[in-house]
Every structure is written in C-alpha cells, then in structure tokens.
Structure 1
Amino acid sequence: MPSNHRHLHAFDLRSVVLFTSLTLGGTTAVFAQAAAPSTPDASAQPTLTAKALTPSEVFMRSDVNRDGQLSRAEAKNLPSVSEQFAQWDRDGNGQISLEEFLLNAQRHE
C-alpha cells in the first residue's frame, strides 16, 4: 500500500523557512527594549517601544539576493513599492537601486 506521507526536500524546507522569515520579519517595525526609567523607582519594569526601520534597512532586508538591486519579485514584499514599481525605477532598467529607493522614500515621507 503506498504511503500518503510527502517527503519534504531540503530545498522546499529552506524555501518555506525563507518565506516565513521574510513574512514574519516584516519591514514595519522591530521592538527594542527602552532604556531604564530615570525615576529612582527600582521596581519599574522597562517597556517595549517600536523602532521604525530606516529606508536603507528596509531596502537591505528586501534585497534577498544581496545584489544591491530590487527586482519586481523582491519588491512584492513592499506593497507600496510594488504597486508603483515603474515610478520607483527611475532609469527604467527593471531594477530599483538603493539610490532610487532612497530618493523615492524621501518623497513618500
């Protein structure tokens, strides 16, 4: 009787892990522990605050193959960039460089 279990190849597993890390890693914010409060109350617990990523950090996280360019596929992780890819790709080469990304990010702030 044939087995109903599917064997997961290493490539498939790595793809799932990469997709999951990109999805859960997100580009919106990371949590950082706040500095100790300035009040003398030693029992006060530190709080978590959201730290926005810089445009350069967003670009680096989205550049999956680390070639210094965002392809259309890589830009899909950034919906606002993906929807306006042609406008962000100022030189029309089908890729968004860090320089193009930073120019557009400043315009959208």
Structure 2
Amino acid sequence: MRSVLFMAALAIGSINVSHAQAAAPSPAGQNPSPTQMSPSGTTGSIAPNKASSKDVDAAFARSDTNKDGKLDRKEAENLPAVAQRFDQIDANHDGFISREEFNKAAGA
C-alpha cells in the first residue's frame, strides 16, 4: 500500500514528466507478449518508475505551499493519494502530515 500511495503521489506531483516512445504496432493478428506491453497498452520499453528520497522530499516541498514543514489538509490536496489517506498518514492525529510521517507513508 505504501508503494501505491507513494507512486500515486509522485505521479500527480512529478517535477519532470517524460514521455516514452511507443514502438511500431505489431502486424495484424499478432499481440505483443505481456512482457512487451506497457501499462498503457502500447508496446515498447518503458523504464520502471523508481523514486528516490530526493523525489519524496521534492514532492513534499512542492505541496508545502506555506513552507511550515508540514502539510495541512488543503496542502495535501496537491497530492490526491495523500489527501485520500490523510488520517492514516497523520500518525499522531495532530491534523498535519509532518515530513517524517510523509516519508514513512512513502516507504522512504
């Protein structure tokens, strides 16, 4: 669950967006093997999404619009996956997500 939350958060708030090039479609009547098909249904090689602690920090910093070192519910709306699980991530139930709570939820 942490991975899903983290990947969703980064996908929504990503700094750099890169586009993969799709390979030429396969000849009629031939379906690409599952190992060649990307999640979007196109063929080709797409690098796995690997987020570093630097990426996690960047996502938090972008969302912390008032720069107080924590996310309130409004700031968490910048990361929908975080907003949906706000109460779970807010481990001490103080109404804010600290950087430590955010990192723990992200598995960083």
Q: TM-score range by the shorter chain?
A: 0.5 to 0.7
Distance in 1 (alpha carbons) for counterparts of 2:100 and 2:59 = 13
Q: TM-score, normalised by structure 1?
A: 0.53
Aligned residue number for residue 28 of structure 1: 14
CA-based RMSD of the aligned residues comes to: 2.6
TM-score of the two chains, using structure 2 as the length reference: 0.53
User: Taking CA–CA contacts closer than 8 Å with sequence separation of 6 or more, which of the two structures ends up with the larger relative contact order?
Assistant: 2
% same residue: 42
CA distance in 2 between partners of 1:31 and 1:51 (Å)? 13
Structure 2 spans left out of the alignment, 5+ residues: 1-11, 19-48
Larger Rg: 1
Q: Distance in 2 between matches of 1:87 and 1:62?
A: 18
Task: Determine the structure 1 residue equivalent to 2:95.
Answer: 94
Aligned residue number for residue 104 of structure 1: 105
- Structure 1: 5+ residue runs without aligned partners? 1-25, 33-49
If each structure's strand is expressed as a fraction of its own residues, which one has the higher value? 1
- What is the DSSP-based 3-state SS (H/G/I as helix, E as strand, rest coil) of the residue aligned with 1:101? helix
Assess, with a 3 A threshold, how the Cα gap between structure 1 residues 72 and 51 changes in structure 2: closer, same or farther.
same
